[in-house]
């Protein structure tokens, strides 16, 4: 088996692990918790304990019960976190420059920190292009670019709206962005899980 076949095999295995919808469910919980951490930083300890320590373990228990009997279990290779550092730096530069341009066009005051808080939905949405690129590379499926594109557009719309109309607080736009994205991912993840169970029955031999 040559290198191309090995890469394709790895992509197929990784794509199989994405069928059950739990990646979307975990992401949904993350986005729902994001505005809570910004508004009340004291909750970050609870978030770390719940999301980092307990939630993945419960997800793994559920996968052992429902996912692995249907698609099998593969121990995937863990890549280092220095994934394409030049691309990540280019993305960071793009986010900062485009955010500054938008603030200048809308408010003519790029030094006001309040305006940068309002830009958080766009900054966070654009940052999601990085995990999209990672998933495209790991699965070989370009459809995952759609996630980063949708979050970027949604963040741009919400940030532009909050810059145009003064809201009660600088985190209102982030709250709306995170809740919409989090609830959407949760609903999509649960729907994907139900579809996975229906289309991949366990056959007793």
Domain region containing 106: 3-199
pTM of the model: 0.77
Residue 160 lies in a domain: yes
Other C-beta atoms lying within 10 Å of the C-beta of residue 155: 25
Indicate the range of 32-36, 104-108, 158-162, 186-190 predicted with least confidence.
Answer: 104-108
Q: What is the pLDDT of residues 164-192, one digit of tens each?
A: 776 666 678 888 899 999 999 999 999 99
What is the mean predicted confidence (pLDDT) over 151-158?
90
What is the mean predicted confidence (pLDDT) over 141-162?
89
Is 20 in a helix, a strand, or coil? coil
Residue 205 lies in a domain: no
Q: Catalogue the long-range contacts made by 180-183 (C-beta closer than 8 Å, 24 or more residues apart).
A: 180/154, 181/28, 181/31, 181/151, 181/154, 182/27, 182/28, 182/29, 182/30, 182/31, 182/32, 182/33, 182/34, 183/28, 183/32
Report how many domains make up the chain: 1
């Amino acid at each position: 088996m040559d290198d191309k076949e090995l890469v394709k095999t790895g992509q197929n295995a990784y794509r199989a692990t994405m069928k059950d919808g739990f990646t979307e469910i975990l992401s949904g919980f993350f986005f729902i918790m994001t505005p809570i951490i910004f508004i009340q930083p004291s909750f970050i300890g609870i978030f770390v304990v719940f999301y980092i320590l307990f939630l993945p373990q419960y997800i793994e228990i559920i996968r052992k019960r429902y996912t692995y009997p249907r698609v099998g279990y593969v121990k995937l290779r863990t890549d280092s976190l220095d994934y394409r550092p030049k691309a990540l730096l280019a993305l960071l530069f793009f986010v900062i420059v485009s955010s500054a341009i938008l603030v200048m066009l809308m408010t003519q005051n790029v030094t006001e920190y309040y305006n940068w808080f309002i830009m958080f939905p766009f900054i966070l949405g654009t940052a999601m292009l990085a995990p999209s690129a990672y998933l495209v590379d790991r699965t070989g499926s370009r459809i995952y670019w759609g996630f980063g594109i949708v979050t970027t557009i949604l963040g741009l719309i919400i940030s532009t709206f909050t810059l145009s109309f003064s809201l009660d607080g600088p985190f209102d736009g982030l709250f709306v962005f995170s809740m919409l994205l989090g609830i959407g991912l949760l609903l999509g993840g649960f729907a994907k899980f139900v579809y996975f169970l229906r289309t991949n029955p366990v056959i007793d031999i």
